[in-house]
Amino acid sequence: MICFVAVAIALLSACSGRPTSLPATFTEVADSACIYPDYRDVTIPPNIAPLNFMVVDDAADAFVADLGGLVCGAGSDGKMDIDTAAWRSLLTAQRGKDIEVRVYARRGQGWVRHPAFRLSVAEEPIDSFLSYRLIEPGYELYRQLGLYQRNLTNFTQTTIYENNRSYDNDENHCVNCHNYQNYDTERMLFHVRAAHGGTVVTNGREAHKIAIKHDSILAAGVYPSWHPTQPLVAFSTNKTGQVFHLLYPEKIEVLDTESDLILYDAERNQVSNILRSTDALETFPCWTPDGTRLYYCSAKMPELEGENTEALITSRFDSLLYDIYSMPFDLATRTFGEPRLEVDASSQGMSCSVPRISPDGHYLLYTYGRYGQFHIWHKSADLWVKPLSNDLAPYPLTAANSPDADSYHSWSSNGRWIVFSSRRDDGNFTRPYIAYFDRQGQARRAFLLPQRDPEYNQLLLKSFNVPELTRSAVRVTIEELNHVVRHTEAQVAAYK
């Protein structure tokens, strides 16, 4: 039986027509090879997993790629499965240099060779782990939804936490907003909504669930930012709603009808207000790397005439324009100073969101769009940068941006890489894109997170949400998180 299976596999392999060497004769063609993902002329980390790709050419039945001497073949499906060990050696040898990639296709009249493209291997590595949420771009039900982490140096994806695998109304719960302290996984948190609600906070291999609710604060914590050194988390607290367009270029709006900022002390399980206002909507807090300032977004509350505030704000969804502010933070007294306007988008009829400071403190990275703060659903959303160490004006990261939504970005710990969610593939499912951020403050062309099967992203019916880079894998086990989420009560935070 075993022999039969082995022979069958061998025959299948032989029949797949996967060439193993470069063709001796070929014809040069002028058109570039159509490959997915599009890895042409991108800059990649020296520790990234093999960039397996797929050549799309209906006229060809076999393909070969020459990646700087590493030869890889594909059958009629065009899928290049690059040998991991050879790839690793190649990147090590080419660190700081370029790799020329040539693709050959076997068509009816023989082999053709497409023009070469280039992979630039950066000197600086990327953090080894990327965590994200996988979820259908749906909004009210949750099944097989979870937080996962991917080892970027290979193709291993492990589950941090996953909800119910079959739909169960009693177990229907969402997990979101995972966040880490300073690229480390010692301290992390994520929220659980609906069933088993609360916020799960970890400390090494330990985890517990808290509930942030008090009459003095607006609502539970939402968008988090861990202080880089202290057991403190700045949260926005939002009353969030979703509306669906029946005829509009955007499909969905996610908007806040109220929002404030709060500070949570993870050691003392205490919460306090940072900003509590009725005339402004504050959201998306973010600490500077030294922990001395807190950046956040704020929009003026529109003047509303009528009682149904929620409906009124909803109907004016495109008039909510957010600017970015910052406030100094005194660690000794745990008090915040006066807000300072950092990016004035509203005066130009635009809006910005998700401020993230580079690890060296020199750049403010944010998304810039036509209105609102939930830019991941806005085609106009692009990544912009404001230099903080000089008076240069903000500018877009043109090479990394796309015509579709680009948002939910984060920095690598060395500040040389940014990873962000983009809907550029199909306008609907977000995918994690990685871009090199050079010393001149410019981003290079972004590339899609590589997968073992290059067709994976075309078949996956889930979105990658909130990509966050960390230096190490999450330490707390899935069993521990399952226990904490499903079988423990949330400890209510005290209000200070």
Binding site for another protein (CB under 8 A): 133, 135-144, 165-170, 172-176, 193-194, 197, 240-248, 251, 253-254, 311, 314-315, 374, 376, 425-430, 453, 455-456, 458-461, 463, 465
What does the alpha-carbon distance between residue 395 and residue 322 come to, in Å, rounded to a whole number? 17
Q: Which is nearer to another protein, 69 or 427 (CB)?
A: 427
Q: Which is nearer to another protein, 254 or 274 (CB)?
A: 254
C-alpha 452: how far from chain center: 19
Least distance in angstroms from the C-beta of 487 to another protein = 19
What does the alpha-carbon distance between residue 79 and residue 452 come to, in Å, rounded to a whole number? 10
What does the alpha-carbon distance between residue 259 and residue 254 come to, in Å, rounded to a whole number? 13
By the 10 Å C-beta count (0-12 exposed, 13-18 middle, 19+ buried), 204 is classed as exposed
Least distance in angstroms from the C-beta of 21 to another protein = 29
Checking phi first, is residue 69 left (phi over 0); if not, alpha (psi -120 to 50) or beta?
left
Least distance in angstroms from the C-beta of 306 to another protein = 14
Q: Which is nearer to another protein, 61 or 77 (CB)?
A: 77
Least distance in angstroms from the C-beta of 283 to another protein = 13
Instruction: Map residue 315 onto helix, strand or coil.
Output: helix
Least distance in angstroms from the C-beta of 426 to another protein = 4
Q: Do residues 30 and 68 make contact, with C-beta atoms less than 8 angstroms apart?
A: no
Radius of gyration of the chain (CA): 24
Least distance in angstroms from the C-beta of 305 to another protein = 18
Strands 117-121 and 42-44: parallel
Checking phi first, is residue 319 left (phi over 0); if not, alpha (psi -120 to 50) or beta?
alpha
Least distance in angstroms from the C-beta of 251 to another protein = 7
Strands 198-203 and 184-194: antiparallel
What does the alpha-carbon distance between residue 298 and residue 274 come to, in Å, rounded to a whole number? 13
Least distance in angstroms from the C-beta of 191 to another protein = 8
Least distance in angstroms from the C-beta of 412 to another protein = 23
Q: Which is nearer to another protein, 54 or 400 (CB)?
A: 54
Q: Which is nearer to another protein, 3 or 461 (CB)?
A: 461
Q: Which is nearer to another protein, 128 or 451 (CB)?
A: 451
Instruction: Map residue 54 onto helix, strand or coil.
Output: strand
Q: Please state, in angstroms and as integers, the Cα–Cα distance from residue 444 to each residue in 49, 332, 437, 454, 464, following that order.
A: 19, 40, 6, 22, 21
Least distance in angstroms from the C-beta of 54 to another protein = 11
Nearest to 318 by CA among 269, 383, 253, 368: 253
What does the alpha-carbon distance between residue 218 and residue 239 come to, in Å, rounded to a whole number? 8
Q: Which is nearer to another protein, 206 or 426 (CB)?
A: 426
The tokens describing 484, both together, are 């904490």
What does the alpha-carbon distance between residue 276 and residue 480 come to, in Å, rounded to a whole number? 35
Least distance in angstroms from the C-beta of 136 to another protein = 4
What does the alpha-carbon distance between residue 322 and residue 179 come to, in Å, rounded to a whole number? 23
Q: Which is nearer to another protein, 10 or 56 (CB)?
A: 56
Q: Which is nearer to another protein, 89 or 242 (CB)?
A: 242
Q: Which is nearer to another protein, 135 or 357 (CB)?
A: 135
Q: Which is nearer to another protein, 98 or 426 (CB)?
A: 426
Q: Do residues 147 and 178 make contact, with C-beta atoms less than 8 angstroms apart?
A: yes
Place of tokens 């509930």: 211
C-alpha 134: how far from chain center: 11
Q: Which is nearer to another protein, 241 or 361 (CB)?
A: 241
Strands 494-495 and 270-275: parallel
Least distance in angstroms from the C-beta of 463 to another protein = 6
Query: Cis omega before residue 396 (within 30°)?
Result: no
Where helices occur in 68-150 by DSSP H, the ranges are 84-93
Q: How many residues does the chain have?
A: 496
Least distance in angstroms from the C-beta of 137 to another protein = 6
Q: Which is nearer to another protein, 156 or 458 (CB)?
A: 458
Give the CA angle between residues 133, 135, 139 to the nearest 5°: 125
